[in-house]
Amino acid sequence: MVKDPGFRLYLITDRKQFVSEGMLMTAVEEALKGGAKAVQLREKDLCIRDLLALAYNMRALTGQYAAQLFINDRVDVALAVGADGVHLGQSGIPAYAARKAAGKKLKIGVSTHGVEEAESAEKDGADFITLGPVYETPSKKQYGAPLGTGIFDKIRSRISIPAFAIGGI
C-alpha cells in the first residue's frame, strides 16, 4: 500500500520564469491559495547564501498555508530552514546518505526516469519519487523520449512509495 505523502500536487519553482524574486513568491502564494500543498524550491544556480535566504522566505510562506517545503539537493539547507524534506536528483547525494544525515527529520523525494531508478530510490530510502519526463518538454530532452502515462501502471506494481508525474505537465 502506498503511503500518503499529504499532497497530490507537487509545485516546483523556477525563478527564471519571473522578473524578480517577489514575482516568484507571488506565484507560489497563488498556487498555495489554489490548494497546492507541497513546494519544491529548485533553484540550482543560486549561491548558498542566496538559496538560504530564499529558502527561509519560502518556509515562512509555505508555513502560512500549512504546505510542505522541499529543498532541491541540499540537505543542509533543508535542515537549516526547517523544511519538510529534500528532493534529490540522480547525480547528487543518494537517498540513503540523505537519510543518514537527516534521520527522520526530512521526507526524501528522488527524481527518476524509469522503473529501475524508481526501484533503486525506494530501496535507498526515498519517501516518494518524481518520474518523467511524462510528456515532451525542452528541459528534459537529455532523458530521451517521453515516458508517457502508461509507465505509472508498471511503477505502481513495482514500488510502494508515491510517484509523481513530471515533465511537460
Q: Select from 18, 137, 162 the least CA-distant residue to 85.
A: 162
**Choosing from 59, 99, 107, 140, which is the catalytic residue?**
140
Could you confirm whether 42 is annotated as catalytic?
yes
CA-CA distance, 151 to 115, in Å (whole number)?
8
Rounded Cα distance, 111 and 73, in Å: 10
- Dist CA 93 CA 49 (whole Å): 20
Catalytic residue among 15, 59, 111, 120: 111
Residue 53: all three cell numbers together = 535566504
157 is catalytic: no
Residue 140 annotated as catalytic: yes
What is the spatial distance between Cα 160 and Cα 68, in angstroms, rounded to a whole number?
A: 21
Catalytic position from the list 42, 59, 74, 99: 42
Q: Which residues are catalytic?
A: 42, 111, 140
